[in-house]
A = this chain, B = another copy of it.
Amino acid sequence: MSNLTLALDAMGGDHGPHITVPAALQALALYPQLTIILVGDRIAIGEQLRRHHRTESSRLQLLHAEQVVSMSDRPLHALRNRRKSSMRLALELVHEGKADACVSAGNTGALMAMAKVVLKTLPGIDRPALTTALPTTTGHPVYMLDLGANVVCDSETLFQFAVMGSVLAECVGNRRRPRLALLNVGAEEIKGNDQVQQAAQLLQATPQLNYRGFIEGDGIFTGAVDVIVCDGFVGNVTLKTTEGIARLLVQQMRQAMEGNLLARALGWLLKGRLKRLYRQMNPDQYNGATLLGLRGIVVKSHGNADNAAFLRAIEEAVLEVQRQVPGRIKSRLESVLLDKS
């Protein structure tokens, strides 16, 4: 692995430096070639460093930011009034080439808006998309996008998402010719709304993509495809539904296990596995999500990520830097568009 530098929005998320600093220290121990720039309030970060008996070093730098984007800031407000925030400065480090990627657990809408303004989208991409890897019964993940960055999408946007998702599944998910589907209310060709129908036509006419047709909600987790494309409204509701189900499941399992002593013993035995299962069912919370389509790598960790989850987001960023995801999206898009024209 060659040297690489990540800019961390150390103030983002519900817990800020309490989580981001220890996760950064763990990442530095895991990746000897990694340099991390912690961006945020000097005092709050310094306190966490002292608590872990660490100081700044060549591999652990600190960039002071006097502002913080709060979880309730509206995107436009953050864009206008949080120019000196940790989130914005971290993104600017990527834009200036001082960092290879940015990781933030902050306000998704603000991150999206700032990333678009600071980094710009890749040529041919109208809007960035939010994506994450969901678990499937085969063990291979499926990448789903968009997860809420774009509430309304036309067919052209869905098409661009398909290109981006396919590249991610190939580069980071190690899938060859990733199988791709559009999320719909039925598998039959006649089903769906206009956007989905027209996107299907665009995808069918693009041999560079391994388009397999429509998939329904119950097909997301079967591993039948590697990439699932939908608009941000549907994607967001779907992702959050899986989180809601996970919570319902844990509660019901707990109730079931309270029943008798043996069941309780089983619950104890299965605790680790249930926890892993629960994490899998909260992919966004655990894996982090990626903002695809920008001229730079931005990984969004869940707001209430714990240490391990924020570390996962850092690892995702490392992987995307190594696999040069934005460059590959750009060249794939160029080849697709060239063939189309």
Contact A217 B233 (CB under 8 A): no
Contact B219 A244 (CB under 8 A): yes
Stretch of A60-68, A160-168, A262-270, A310-318 at the chain-chain interface: A262-270
Given contacts A262-B266, A263-B269, contact A220 B192 (CB under 8 A): no
Given contacts A151-B191, A217-B236, A221-B245, 16 further A-B contacts (CB under 8 A): A137-B251, A152-B193, A193-B233, A216-B237, A217-B238, A217-B244, A218-B240, A220-B244, A221-B247, A234-B234, A234-B237, A249-B277, A256-B270, A256-B274, A256-B277, A262-B269
Contact A252 B269 (CB under 8 A): no
A40 contacts chain B at the CB level, 8 A cutoff? no
Contact A240 B256 (CB under 8 A): no
Residue numbers of A with Cβ under 8 A of B are 74, 135-137, 148, 151-152, 183-185, 190-193, 216-222, 230, 232-234, 236-249, 251-253, 256-257, 259-260, 262-263, 265-267, 269-270, 273-274, 277, 280-281
A249–B248 alpha-carbon span in the complex (Å): 12
Q: Would you give the shortest CB distance from A219 to chain B, in whole angstroms?
A: 7
Determine which of B136, B237, B262, B280 lies in contact with A183 in the assembled complex, contact meaning CB atoms within 8 Å.
Answer: B237
Contact A270 B263 (CB under 8 A): yes
Given contacts A241-B217, A241-B220, A256-B277, contact A248 B183 (CB under 8 A): no
